[in-house]
Structure 1
């Protein structure tokens, strides 16, 4: 029996304080070697338990095994020099010191497959695993080798495709590609970004999702949001082409954002992960507030294709806040399920 309105998170959950400094995005590991491997597994089980306790239907590792949603994947590839760093503007918003692409990029061995197998061994529920999307990877580096964002994205797409196929074989039910860059570089998204994403999912045997948000609740993002005016119509630029793509699910930000909800109509036919939890505030949503966002979305997406979700990852939030928000997401979805 398939669950109606299956809930999930867009990605990260807070890390326990013994593993990494909490409420920080680029938090360093507090453990090393074998202890770190064991610590990540313990944190994964804890994160899984929190999701299950809250009644989340499609569970993940809460990104406990990753320091950062993009960089950790890139660290495992050859051709990128992490010692040599340059400052770039990420997403046209904030400056960051990033690694440099010095040679052809390639994947010598699986990156997250072992972790995904471990998650699979811990639960019978459907599991979702997140990978960075090709364009967002390109946007998080300084390219000294290809000298072309598009060429580098195609190389990353091939690498992601190898990883995604192995993750699917390891029992992952949904592979999600995080593409916050899709909300910024519209011409590139339509010229080659969606095509690169299609390359990444080619021949992958499980369902695939793309997560496009307005970012974590960090200052650079919240400041940027203040400049976007009373209506955020970024999705309008990219949804028509995504609707034509082979991607199965589209994850977007709805709650407390200024995204006109009727833009979901542009991806009619796709499964939609509707962000009904605001990750940029410590304020806990009520189940009724979550339900209200879902009801609005139901005008533009069929009930059997609506997947209640969070707007983005919750790594920067206090643990108790994230847990309460998971509970609210579950309870709000349950209210709407009963009405249906």
Structure 2
């Protein structure tokens, strides 16, 4: 059961400050000390916006990641960038994201970098909010890797190779004092309609097995958000009932940008775990009002009891302008507070 009813949380990412985007494209002009200072400043900015909004759970905003999962590829040996088939022009879509060829046995001798992100967050964050780390699961992490056909025949072979890297990172996060972790697996939800969902569940549960019961674990299931565009078949029903066997405390489910389609399915998930519902649409520049948020929460309460319901954006906010992210989070937190007060929970 979650620590407080109608807890306000986020998925992981937050928009970069404009100056950080410029600096990240001109890193050759900066020394190591300059870069460390920039990273600290960017995390401080992300913390400030989240704390000011009133969130119960905050992250570092993934300010050191240049892409949701491609940044992790810098920690993995055995890869070579391969952008030969990457589309450069035209409307934004997932085929414009970078790819990497596998050229030798995959290893991650120095971990995946998530521990350094968490320890920085812990150093810079104020007392009060819960601090959360997030890391992609192995199936999602494998998504832009091209199997070599020898060591790794297909995506599932690559996933098996990456699984111990993610497991070790989770263990290291717990050892570093992290009490809440989201393992992001949007690729599983995107492909649930055509892949073996039992296999997905088995892979996921093996990944998290070393830390089950040692921290609060959640998973994020969405349908893609590159440049604000979804990529997957945006339905929950292909995930059921198998995804109810994921060994997590909480599941994050995208709802707002799907106009709360299949909202009744929340009841299925709530029987097995807590549910963090996407109340805020990160793909839309309509800024939800406090009344919007309160109405959406009440709608969800028909299917998920307050003590099991958390309130979140649909996805990470990295693809949403910072001005809009601030305003959306502020409305989300104010709306949750209003409903708590209405229900006598504060």
Check whether TM > 0.5: yes
The aligned counterpart of 1:245 is: 246
Structure 2 match to 1:55:
54
Question: Given the alignment, which residue of 196, 199, 207 partners 2:216?
Answer: 207
| SS across alignment from 2:311 | strand
- Check 1:21–1:249 CA distance in 2 against 1; reply closer, same or farther (3 A cut): farther
Q: Which residue of 2 aligns with 1:76?
A: 75
CA contact under 8 A between 2:228 and 2:282: conserved in structure 1? no
Corresponding residue for residue 303 of structure 1:
306
Q: 1:332 aligns with which of 329, 335, 339?
A: 335
* Aligned match of 2:202: 195
Count of aligned pairs between the two proteins? 324
- Mapped partners of 2:253, 2:58: distance in 1: 18
Deviation at 1:322, TM superposition (A): 0.7
Cα distance, 1:70 vs structure 2: 0.4
Quickly say closer, same or farther: Cα 1:128–1:29, change in 2 above 3 A. farther
CA distance in 2, matches of 1:180, 1:88: 21
Shift of 1:37: 2.0
What TM-score, normalized by structure 2, do the two folds share? 0.87
Structure 1 residue 244 displacement after superposition: 1.7
* Corresponding position of 1:171: 177
The CA distance in 2 between the partners of 1:217 and 1:150, in whole Å, is: 23
> 2:132 matched to which residue of 1?
128
CA shift digits 1:208-250 (9 cap, x unpaired): 11111122263643xx68xx6xxx5x21111321212212211
TM-score (norm 1): 0.88
What is residue 90 of structure 2 aligned with on the other side?
none
Larger deviation: 96-105 or 274-283? Answer: 96-105
Residues 303-339 of structure 1, C-alpha deviation per residue, up to 9 Å, x if partnerless? 1111100001111222111100110110111111112
Asked if the contact 2:201–2:245 (Cα under 8 Å) also holds between the matched residues in 1, the reply is no
1:119 maps to: 121
What is the alpha-carbon root mean square deviation over aligned residues? 2.3
Measured against aligned partners, the alpha-carbon deviations of 1:5-46 in whole angstroms (never above 9, x if no partner) come to: 111112211111121149xxxx74655533222211111111
SS for the counterpart of 1:171 is coil
The separation in 1 between residues aligned to 2:45 and 2:174, in whole angstroms, is 23
- Pick the aligned partner of 2:295 from 272, 292, 295: 292
CA distance in 1, matches of 2:31, 2:300: 45
Of 137, 154, 174 in structure 2, the residue corresponding to residue 148 of structure 1 is 154
Which runs of 5 or more residues in structure 2 are unaligned? 88-92
Match of 1:87 in 2: 85
Inter-CA distance 219–12: structure 2 relative to 1 (3 Å threshold): closer
- In structure 1, the gaps of 5 or more residues are none
CA deviation after TM superposition for structure 1 residue 113, in Å: 0.9
CA 1:189/1:264 → structure 2, altered by over 3 Å: closer, same or farther?
farther
The answer as to whether partners of 1:86 and 1:99 remain within 8 angstroms in 2 is no
Note the C-alpha offset of 1:88: 6.8
Contact 1:253 1:312 in 2 (8 A): yes
Cα deviation per residue 1:149-173 (whole Å; 9 max; x = unaligned)? 1121122111100001111221222
Q: Secondary structure at the match of 1:131?
A: strand
> CA offset at residue 189 of structure 1?
5.0
Alignment of 1:9-20 (within 5 A): 9-20=10-21
